[in-house]
Amino acid sequence: MTELIPLYSWGFGQGFPFIIAGPCGIESRTQINEIAESLNTQNVNLIRGGIWKPRTRPDSFQGIGEEGLKWLKEAGLANGLPVAVEVAHPRHIEQALSAGIDCFWIGARTTVNPFLVQEIANALLGVDIPVFVKNPINPDLELWIGALERIYNSGLRKIAAIHRGFSSYEKSKYRNAPNWQIPIELKRRIPNLPIICDPSHISGNKSLVSSLSQTAMDLSFDGLMIEVHPDPKNALSDKEQQLLPLELKELLNSLILRQQSVDDVIFLNLLEELRHRIDKIDEDILNMMAERMSVAREIGQYKRENNMTILQVERWNEILRTRQKSGMQKDLTREFIIQLFEKIHSESIHHQTRVMNLIEIRKEVK
């Protein structure tokens, strides 16, 4: 995707970070006017507003539909701001284009479906409009990249990704797990692709929006998409996570924006030294892992000789329990310790299985 146009050449303003704000869903003409007016005085680049809402249950608010498009456009024009809607179908594109909507985003539930994304891409052939592509609901980077490529292949060059977190069955304080390593890997694979973070849908709760926004800034995201509503408690969708316009203002004012690089020589030397230490520690970790696996293989041999199964559930429970206790005393998070030892355990099982199979093969050769 070498020909992508930088975000700040899209004609939506220059200020950093790039801010998209607005309600989860447009509910009335008054509501969107009120929001647009309150955003007009803030450093916002684009107003968002859902018209067709992909809701989990059929008996909930499904979005105001086509008539909301003109309210959104009017509100944007009256306040000098461009406007964006979610499109999930070629028909949405047709209606949004004729209402003069400035920009589209593809939602997480659409990105998962290559058929639908391709139909959307086909409907966008020859249209010069910016498109944001949210990550698919499942943590699948290839699917996300595939959707971005489908849009790119239709000739669009103003494309950005939106990270809105990933659905997970595990209990967590987040509505959608951030899995930061996925957008970081996306940035590594496509360095010229702008990436916006949507802390509202990651958090599902307004109390976490600010800290997630700061994390996104610290990870060099290009901007934020934040849901704002004049009366969140009575919002028809996502009421827990929407901020009041004033809260958005406070959040934006409190963001600490750091530089990606500096030229202070003393600081750079210090950084270099610390990075050497990290390199050394990582090498030690790998050596220790190799040693652990070699012990695991030895255990595998004894288990084989004594006709014991590889998986010993009690031992595994004990490892998990004791490592959590010890790790948490060392200020590591429970989630990290569990994930780390699950990975180590599955690698050990893999090594033990290899040992057992090897003995099996040798036996056959004899």
Query: Which residues of the chain form contacts with Mn ion (CB under 5 A)?
Result: 24, 238
Report the C-alpha gap between 35 and 75 in whole angstroms. Answer: 9
Q: Which does 232 bind (CB under 5 to 8 A by kind): ligand PEP, Mn ion, none?
A: none
Q: Does 206 bind ligand PEP (CB under 6 A)?
A: no
DSSP per-residue string spanning 268-283: HHHHHHHHHHHHHHHH
Interacting positions 10-29 with ligand PEP (CB under 6 A): 24
**Closer of 196 and 293 to ligand PEP (Cβ):** 196
Nearest distance from C-beta of residue 50 to ligand PEP, angstroms: 5
Q: Does 60 bind ligand PEP (CB under 6 A)?
A: no
Q: Does 175 bind ligand PEP (CB under 6 A)?
A: no
Interacting positions 69-128 with ligand PEP (CB under 6 A): 86, 107-109
Nearest distance from C-beta of residue 289 to ligand PEP, angstroms: 37
Contact 49, 23 (CB under 8 A): yes
Contact 43, 257 (CB under 8 A): no
Q: Which residue is nearest to Mn ion (CB)?
A: 24
- How many residues belong to the chain? 366
- 318-340 in b/e form (b: 16+ CB < 10 A) is eeeeebeeebeeeeeeeeebeee
Q: Which of 159, 163, 156, 188 shows the shortest CA–CA distance to 177?
A: 163
Report the C-alpha gap between 202 and 227 in whole angstroms. Answer: 11
201, 229, 249, 351: which one binds ligand PEP (CB under 6 A):
201
Nearest distance from C-beta of residue 325 to Mn ion, angstroms: 39
Per 3-state DSSP, the chain is made up of helix, strand and coil in percentages (nearest 5) of 55, 10, 35
Nearest distance from C-beta of residue 123 to ligand PEP, angstroms: 19
Nearest distance from C-beta of residue 21 to ligand PEP, angstroms: 12
**Closer of 116 and 338 to ligand PEP (Cβ):** 116
The total of other beta-carbon atoms located within 10 Å of residue 46's CB is 26
**Closer of 50 and 300 to ligand PEP (Cβ):** 50
Nearest distance from C-beta of residue 148 to ligand PEP, angstroms: 15
339-342 contacts at long range (C-beta below 8 A, 24 or more positions apart)? none
**Closer of 134 and 229 to ligand PEP (Cβ):** 134
Residues 6 or more apart whose CB falls under 8 angstroms from that of 66 comprise 51, 95, 99
Q: Does 63 bind ligand PEP (CB under 6 A)?
A: no
Residue 75, phi then psi, degrees to nearest 5: -60, -40
Interacting positions 249-278 with ligand PEP (CB under 6 A): none
Residues 6 or more apart whose CB falls under 8 angstroms from that of 152 comprise 1, 4, 159
CA of residue 195 relative to chain centroid, distance: 9
**Closer of 156 and 216 to Mn ion (Cβ):** 216
Nearest distance from C-beta of residue 60 to ligand PEP, angstroms: 12
17, 22, 50, 223: which one binds ligand PEP (CB under 6 A):
50
Q: Which residues bind ligand PEP (CB under 6 A)?
A: 24, 50, 54, 86, 107-109, 134, 164, 201
